Homo-oligomer: A and B are copies of this chain.
Amino acid sequence: MTYCAGLLVREGLVMIADTRTNAGLDNISTFRKLHQFEIAGERSLAIATAGNLSISQSVLSLITEGLPHEHGEGVETIYSVPTLFRAAQLIGRAIREVSHTDGKELEDSGVKFDVSILLGGQIKGGPARLYMLYAAGNFIECGVETPYLQIGEHKYGKPILDRAVNFETTLPVALKLALISMDSTIRSNLGVGLPIDIITIPRDTQLASIVHRIEAGEPYFHDLRERWSAALRAAHSAIPLPPYGPKP
């Protein structure tokens, strides 16, 4: 399994992803799922992937090596597309290309063509954006009402985002909430695990301010997990007992 989330708030973008991959429960490895594509000051993009690793790696190779330009000559890459929307389209085309190449044989082997991707960032002259792409190559864009998108094992980490994140949340707080969301997921699903990769890109800078891998045992994240567990226990203790039943 995988858990990745992107939060697009007024101050900028947070992207987070775990690194655990498994082909069966007895074949577990660490692979990077959060990738940075940056030309400092001109464009800063982050891409997180979930689903079949061979598909997502092929997609990343295609958008880096380039696909034939649809309406012109030469190739288009993630470093040459002029807008975020065009970047999402490029990734969608790459997904379809991989589906065309590998899809039938995968399905013949009983493997579903399963991939989903978060694309976030900003290209100079355009707005900061966050997209989620599906296995068909289509995509949706994150809005200000619900300023986050998730892929993979998204349910355990959704309650905290549902309740605490809005567009005016500051970038450091958004990062903290993303880490709490990741913690809830790790706690409830063994298939999601440390290390965790994080990227933050302040709006209108086209320059990541944080590109960091949180390893197991890192003091801040360890402390966050302990504090969050303690706070949850304290939170329910403070709620009165139900009036329906036997008193304690």
Q: Is A109 in the interface zone, CB < 8 Å from B?
A: no
Q: Is the interface of A mostly helix, strand, loop or mixed?
A: helix
Q: Is A198 in the interface zone, CB < 8 Å from B?
A: yes
Please report which residues of chain A, range 213-247, place their CB below 8 angstroms from some CB of chain B when the two chains form the complex. 220, 223-224, 227-229, 231-236, 238-247
Q: Is A163 in the interface zone, CB < 8 Å from B?
A: yes
Q: Are B188 and A158 in contact (CB under 8 A)?
A: yes
Of A37-45, A55-63, A164-172, the one with at least 4 CB within 8 A of chain B = A164-172
Q: Which of B171, B228, B234 contacts A239 (CB 8 A)?
A: B228
Q: Are B235 and A231 in contact (CB under 8 A)?
A: yes
Q: Is A134 in the interface zone, CB < 8 Å from B?
A: no
Set of chain B residues within 8 Å of A245, measured between Cβ atoms:
171-172, 175, 200, 209-210
A37 CB to closest chain B CB (Å) equals 20
14 A-B contact pairs sorted by A residue (CB < 8 Å): A155-B156, A156-B159, A163-B233, A170-B248, A172-B241, A175-B241, A176-B239, A177-B236, A200-B245, A202-B246, A223-B240, A227-B238, A231-B238, A232-B232
